[in-house]
Amino acid sequence: MISPTAPLPAREHLETLVGDILAEARVRGATAAEAAVSFNSALSVTVRLGEVETLEHHRQRGLGVTVYFGQSRGSASTADWRPEAVRDTVQSACAIARHTAADPYSGLADPERLAREIPDLDLYHPWALAPEEAIGRARECEAAALALDPRIGNSEGASLATQTSLVLYGNSHGFCGGYPTSRHSLSCSVIARDEAGMQRDHWHTVARAREALETPSAVGKQAARRALRRLGSRRLSTRRAPVLFAPELARGLIGHFVGAIRGGALYRKASFLLDRLGTCVFPEFVTIRERPHLPRALASAPFDSEGVATQEREVIRDGVLQGYVLDSYAARRLGMATTGNAGGTHNLIVEPGPCGHEELLGQLGTGLWVTGLLGHGINLVTGDYSRGASGFWVENGEIQYPVHEITIAGNLREMLQHIVAVGRDVDARGGIHCGSLLLERMTVAGE
């Protein structure tokens, strides 16, 4: 029998390991060094048509070290925590650094920006889930979907996963910090069939704590409802029309915006938002905040992967771009200061508007409600956007019929500037919290 998720190692053990790595780097002549040590334990199961397809238990550990000889940098990593492996890994990093050209922008984060206090963000809620219970919950989820309607004729499976992690980061500025986290999820994907053909759809729930998950029955039934509503899908003729993005897809648009204001894209001049700081890139009613310290949120963090303290800020205020997404290296390249985003953003919150889903359909009038996207036709240099889509055609605020095999296209710069409304139907299942987004007009390509 596979055992439940393993307990995390003692924090003190990882702190000692980080200290040993930094000491070894110092002995070998490095002028600065940083190290991260991680441990992850996970249990996952997938059930299809009541039978177990996969049952996996992972215990993964690793360490990574980066050393600096002046401004020459070298990195190495290993999954072996033995003292001799640590020495060999540090030696490899030093050898790389000695053969690497100096980069005037490289180096550790500035010491004054490192986190002084590390708040408890309530991110660790382990679930002592036995494999038999995990299988039972996945079966319950899939069974609820299959039982909802006789037209649900097949399943792509239900999956349950639970994991816990502990990561410690330290550097030669004297910083050493880390904290445990947990993440649990349940998903289901099913296929609906009628005389016109088959349609698939899915649903999932994810949270730091098990009690915050939707029930297996609720997940299964929602997956089934989503598949059923797509039966009878048609194609559309090519046209220009208003487009309403469902919340789970709207956050993808915000994700493209984030990609365009990341430091790497900016200093490489590979962004459609180059040199737009302080200018209006959204309508005036749009405000986007970064809130890294939300308790239990999926992207919360007291410090970034360089040890820099995270802090709440406005990225967009009244439509105007207030700041970029920078780590220390990118900040130096741009002549700016790090924003504490090494490793990514931490809970971007798009301020919700007053309208719910039904009101947004009314505001859409006649247009396309997009509930599914395919492909990755996004060019962050030009902003060109083109993706396969499915959803529903709406007339006079009323859903008329489902549509599929269409493409929606536009330019992200114009799309963001021509958002008409942000819904209050916020989807918080990720690092970007966003409601539905109604866009003034896009090209819908079909027959």
Which pLDDT tens digit goes with each residue over 81-127?
A: 999 999 999 999 999 999 999 999 999 999 999 999 999 999 999 99
Distance CA(430)–CA(30), nearest Å, equals 39
Q: How confident is the model at residue 37 (pLDDT cuts 50, 70, 90)?
A: very high
Q: Which of 39-43, 196-200, 239-243, 290-294 has the lowest mean pLDDT?
A: 196-200
Per-residue confidence (pLDDT) for residue 375, from 0 to 100? 87
pLDDT at 55: 97
- Residues in a beta bridge with 288: 316, 350
pLDDT digits (tens, 9 = 90+) for 246-303: 999 999 999 999 999 999 999 999 999 999 999 999 999 999 999 999 999 999 999 9
- DSSP conformational letter for 434: B
Mean pLDDT value of segment 41-52: 97
Amino acid type, 89: T
Q: What is the pLDDT of residues 12-21, one digit of tens each?
A: 999 999 999 9
pLDDT over 90 at 5, yes or no? no
Nearest residue to 162 (alpha-carbon basis) of 201, 135, 122, 189: 135
76: left (phi over 0), alpha (psi -120 to 50) or beta: beta
Instruction: List, edge to edge, every strand of the sheet that includes 152-171.
Output: 72-78, 51-69, 32-48, 152-171, 176-194, 197-207
Residues in the chain: 447
pLDDT category of residue 3 using cuts at 50, 70 and 90? very low
Residue 48's identity, in one-letter code, is R
The model's pLDDT over 174-204, given as tens digits with 9 standing for 90+, comes to: 999 999 999 999 999 999 999 889 999 999 9
Mean per-residue pLDDT for 412-424?
97
pLDDT digits (tens, 9 = 90+) for 355-403: 999 999 999 999 999 999 998 889 999 999 999 999 999 999 999 999 9
In this prediction, residue 6 carries a pLDDT of 66
Mean pLDDT, to the nearest integer, of 69-80? 97
Q: What is the pLDDT of residue 39?
A: 96
DSSP string, 360-378: HHHHH-SEEEEEEEEEEEE
The fraction of the chain above a pLDDT of 90, given in percent, is 96
Average pLDDT for the chain: 96
The confidence score (pLDDT) of residue 1 equals: 38
Domains of the chain: 11-228 (3.30.2290.10), 233-447 (no CATH)
- Given CA atoms 273, 278, 280, 283 in this order, what sign does their dihedral have? positive
Q: Which of helix, strand or coil describes residue 134?
A: helix
Counting residues of the chain whose pLDDT is more than 70, the rounded percentage is 99
Q: What is the mean pLDDT of residues 347-357?
A: 97
CB within 8 Å of 387: residues ≥ 6 apart: 373, 374, 375, 376, 377, 378, 407, 408, 409
Mean pLDDT confidence for 156-165: 97
Secondary structure letter of residue 359 according to DSSP: H
Helix/strand/coil for 194: strand
User: CB–CB of 114/311 below 8 Å?
Assistant: no
Q: Give SS3 for 265.
A: helix
Q: What pLDDT is stored for residue 196 in this prediction? A: 83
> By three-state DSSP, how is residue 188 classified?
strand
pLDDT at residue 57 greater than cutoff 70: yes
